[in-house]
């Protein structure tokens, strides 16, 4: 018997761990069309190449919206399955624009919990390494950890990606334990 789609899934992992591809496959298990909310900004050629690579592997059933800051509004306005990639770039954008991270976090949680379809959120786990040597990097690392903890507490399903392999941290509802 197929498992019900969790309302909110959080996919975490390190760089190049397979987070985005895994998240895409989770959303593709739902009926199309699928909304891909991209938070990256193409500030340089290397980032433009990354964005192009991500877009090239998605079919025409994906609708992409570039949303560097107004993520809660984009999720709230969705009408079906949503993939957000990624939370840590969104957090970077908020911090650099001096936005209210706490208010944005609350708004994102509310949007995810009231979205009409499943929401899959992708984030980079940045707290497994050394303590950063500057205040801005420490502030970012701490804010990312708090954001991920709050979303994980509310999520139905949490996955940690390691070398392309999903490790289930919080099983989805109805899944065998």
CA 120 to chain centroid, in Å, comes to: 6
Across the chain, mean pLDDT equals 91
In order of 5, 51, 75, 103, the CA distances from 152 in angstroms are: 16, 26, 17, 18
Stated pTM of the model: 0.90
CA gap 70, 74 in Å, rounded: 6
Tell me: pLDDT of 1 over 50: no
Which of the 8 DSSP states describes residue 6? P
Active-site positions read 54
pLDDT in tens, 13-38: 998 899 999 999 999 999 999 999 99
Tell me: pLDDT of 167 over 60: yes
Least confident of 53-57, 114-118, 143-147: 53-57
């Amino acid at each position: 018997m197929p498992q019900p789609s969790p309302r909110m899934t959080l996919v975490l992992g390190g760089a190049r761990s397979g987070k985005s591809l895994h998240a895409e496959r989770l959303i593709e298990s739902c009926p199309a069309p699928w909304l891909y909310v991209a938070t990256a900004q193409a500030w340089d050629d290397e980032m433009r190449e990354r964005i192009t690579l991500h877009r090239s592997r998605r079919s025409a059933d994906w609708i992409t919206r570039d949303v560097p800051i107004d993520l809660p509004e984009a999720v709230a306005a969705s009408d079906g399955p949503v993939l957000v990639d990624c939370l840590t770039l969104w957090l970077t954008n908020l911090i650099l624009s001096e936005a209210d991270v706490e208010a944005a976090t609350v708004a994102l949680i509310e949007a995810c919990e009231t979205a009409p379809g499943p929401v899959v959120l992708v984030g980079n786990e940045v707290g497994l390494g050394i303590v950063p040597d500057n205040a801005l990097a420490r502030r970012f690392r701490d804010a990312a950890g708090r954001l991920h903890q709050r979303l994980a507490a509310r999520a139905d399903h949490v996955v940690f990606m390691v070398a392309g392999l999903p490790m289930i941290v919080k099983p989805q509802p109805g899944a065998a334990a």
